Amino acid sequence: MPIVAFYSKDSNTDLLEEWEQRLRLYFPSIKLVDLLSYKAENAITALLWKAPLFRVKELKNLKALISLGQGVDHILKDNIINTKIPIVRIVDPYMAKSMSHWVIISVLNFTRDTFGYYDQQKSKTYKARKEVNFTNVKIAIYGMGAIGRVVARDLKQLGFKIYGWSRTPKNISGVICYRDRDKFEFLLNTCDIHICLLPLTSETANIFDKSSFKMMKFGSCFINAGRGEQVVEEDLIEYCKSGQISHAILDVYCKEPLPKNSRLWEQENIKIWPHVAAETNPETAAKQIAKAIKCIENGKTPPNTIDIKVGY
């Protein structure tokens, strides 16, 4: 019976049981145990989301780690874990579409001035607001991986002009894709909406800071569903106050849950979501996780094993 250590921050035993039931559809003999229990000592695989890494390090029989999400920065942080063993991430079309839906909501709320109409409702003002010609709106997507390319295609279908920026070259029909720092700055200067979907690495930490926001066109919209640590939050607040950023829509933060004393809450043109843009769905992700565990049990390298050198 393969034993898998399980931990998902802020979850309960019901989630562990749900994952076990889903995984058993593809791997009937599998057994999930709490990472913090003594039973985890025999685990060969760990299924993790924001786990206490000191505990993971204590488990000497682990042959691989599986992230309960697309990102693996929560495993790699502080260089605590032995990265000689494989680290696997989820690549789920359901999650990609969920993220695309959230981004589309955010983009349309900006282009259709939803927030302005909601404010008018409070004062019972029945009046048309200025309409934006969406065919002229330029959208930059930073991060063109498994999620970014789905978001790009869906926004393209809605009639927007889409540009992508990533570490490696990408070829996506109808989307102009760039790489390199000078092209990053080019997009900051020329686009109206900026969407961060980047993985968190040493190169992307604090990538959106005062210098980046200063390059954006006056009245731009900034959307972040990458990682909170990619944004210098005080700089974002400053440029939202000045109107340089007319709207910021955020799903991720440097500290989560977002503290009640964070100044982000107080800025009216910053909209707060609680890291729900694309949550891992046990129903859709279980098959690939079960496949990864089988590979690990058989001494094979699972699909979607990350490249430690680049961090994803």
Answer for the pair 100, 154: CB distance below 8 angstroms, yes or no. Answer: yes
For the chain, helix (H) and strand (E) counts, in that order, are 10, 12
At residue 163 the predicted structure's pLDDT band, cuts being 50, 70 and 90, is very high
The SS3 of residue 223 is: strand
Contact 236, 210 (CB under 8 A): no
Omega into 28 within 30° of 0, i.e. cis? no
Confidence of residue 83 (pLDDT cuts 50, 70, 90): confident
In this structure, what token pair is assigned to residue 85? 């063993």
User: For residue 267, is pLDDT > 90?
Assistant: yes
Taking the C-alpha atoms of residue 139 and residue 141, their distance in angstroms, rounded to an integer, is 7
pTM of the model: 0.92
Dump pLDDT digits (tens) for 17-72: 999 999 999 999 999 999 999 999 999 999 999 999 999 999 999 999 999 988 89
Q: What is the Cα 276 distance to its own chain's centre?
A: 9
CB 269 within 8 A of CB 244: no
Give the pLDDT confidence score for residue 70 in this predicted structure: 84
Mean pLDDT on 217-233: 98
Write down the pLDDT at residue 312: 81
Sequence-ordered list of residues with C-beta below 8 angstroms from that of 56, at least 6 positions apart, any chain: 5, 35, 46, 48, 62, 65, 75, 80, 81
- Name the average pLDDT for the chain: 95
- pLDDT more than 90, % of the chain: 87
Contact 43, 59 (CB under 8 A): yes
Q: Which two tokens stand for residue 57?
A: 């390090």
| CA 295 centroid distance within chain | 26
Residues 152 and 172 sit within 8 Å (Cβ to Cβ):
yes
State residue 106's pLDDT score. Answer: 98
Taken in order of first residue, the domains within the chain and their CATH numbers are 3-92+280-297 (3.40.50.720), 93-272 (3.40.50.720)
How many whole angstroms separate alpha carbon 62 and alpha carbon 293? Answer: 12
Q: Are 209 and 232 in contact (CB under 8 A)?
A: yes
Helix (H, G, I), strand (E, B) or coil at 205: coil
Band the pLDDT of 7: cuts 50, 70, 90: very high
